[in-house]
Amino acid sequence: MDLREIGQRLGQSVKGEIIVGESMKKHTSWRVGGPADIMVLPAGIEDIMVCRQFATAHGLPLTVMGNGSNMLVKDRGIRGIVLKISRGFNRIEVRDTVITAEAGALLPNVSNRAARAGLTGLEFAVGIPASVGGAVAMNAGAHGRCMADVVDRMAALTGDGNTVLLKREDIGFTYRKSGITNKGLVVLTADFGLKPGEPEEIMAANKINLEKRRHSQPLEFPNAGSVFANPPGQWAGWLIENAGCKGMRIGDAMVSEKHANFIVNLGMARAEDILELITRIKHIVMKKYNIELELEVRVVGE
């Protein structure tokens, strides 16, 4: 089957949108990457289940993504099916002190909803441009807090098409990681356990966190947030800056002058440029400090 035929067959069972040969530049915050063979924007859980079953039945690779804010897609793109869980699966519900959010909901929206409901605990997440599914999978965090601090449980789809409920202790949270990917799970919903607070105070804290982000991060250029995880007892940005990498550039990919743990796209960067810059940074930091930096971003594609 060619790509269009695959798309047509999948479209017979999927209610959401299907796009053939979609450029991943439109779907990642770095604005780089080649085309996805087939992109599916699911309209609900049924579409997610259908895509997983279809990919398995036809021997097609399945790449699950959220908002693309922590993802580097290589220049030749992604083979098989890219399942982008986003606007068609983004409901947010408030029950007492628990917020349940579908995987496609954006963290800033969940944080702001919590603030309006007078629930505190998600102020740290107001500036993280990730979907709930992606944030839980990578244990996203900021300001000394992370998903592991607030996620009580999650619902996920297993590789054999079953739905499971996992409590916090079963998700496998570690620093900027979880056990979700290794278990082949797709996040469906997450329950955030919060505490009562004053809406005005929570909104003020949100505003302060957003201001900190604007002042410390290069938001004027496409980027994917922190490129490297902080080594134990160290700050990746400090190591990179003091190793002399700040401002280093390959093509239109550059180590930010504002925050050395950010690589920005000045306009026409390729994934190849970013990957070469990552390799060079790792080599220089290893040579100077004997510390191997580990990627915090996810690299996919060809």
Angle at which helix 107-116 crosses helix 199-216, to 10 degrees, equals 150
Tell me which of 226, 241, 256, 270 is the catalytic residue: 226
pLDDT at 60 over 80: yes
- What are the tens digits of pLDDT across the range 198-245? 999 999 999 999 999 999 999 999 999 999 999 999 999 999 999 999
238 Cβ neighbours under 8 A, 6+ residues apart:
260
Helix (H) / strand (E) element for 208: namely: helix 199-216
Q: Is 176 an active-site residue? A: yes
Which of 102, 123, 241, 296 is an active site residue?
Answer: 296
Pairwise CA distance, residues 17 & 38, whole Å: 10
Tokens at 279, concatenated? 């390799």
pLDDT, tens digit (0-9, with 9 covering 90-100), for 156-209: 999 888 899 999 999 999 999 998 888 889 999 999 999 999 999 999 999 999
**Number of Cβ atoms within 10 Å of the Cβ of 208:** 13
- Per domain, the residue ranges of the chain are 3-87, 90-216, 236-300
Q: Is 211 a catalytic residue?
A: no
The active-site residue out of 31, 153, 176, 270 is: 176
Q: Which CATH class is domain 236-300?
A: alpha beta
CATH code for the part of the protein at 3-87: 3.30.43.10
CATH topology of domain 90-216: 3.30.465
Quote the pTM value: 0.92
Rg (CA), the chain: 19
What confidence tens digit (pLDDT) does each residue in 84-135 have? 998 889 999 999 999 999 999 999 999 999 999 999 999 999 999 999 999 9
pLDDT cut 70: percent of the chain above it: 100
Q: How does the average pLDDT of the chain come out, rounded?
A: 95
59: left (phi over 0), alpha (psi -120 to 50) or beta: left
Query: Is 226 marked active-site?
Result: yes
Helix (H) or strand (E) holding 79: strand 78-84
Q: Dihedrals φ, ψ of 279, to 5°? A: -60, -40
Same fold, 90-216 and 236-300: no
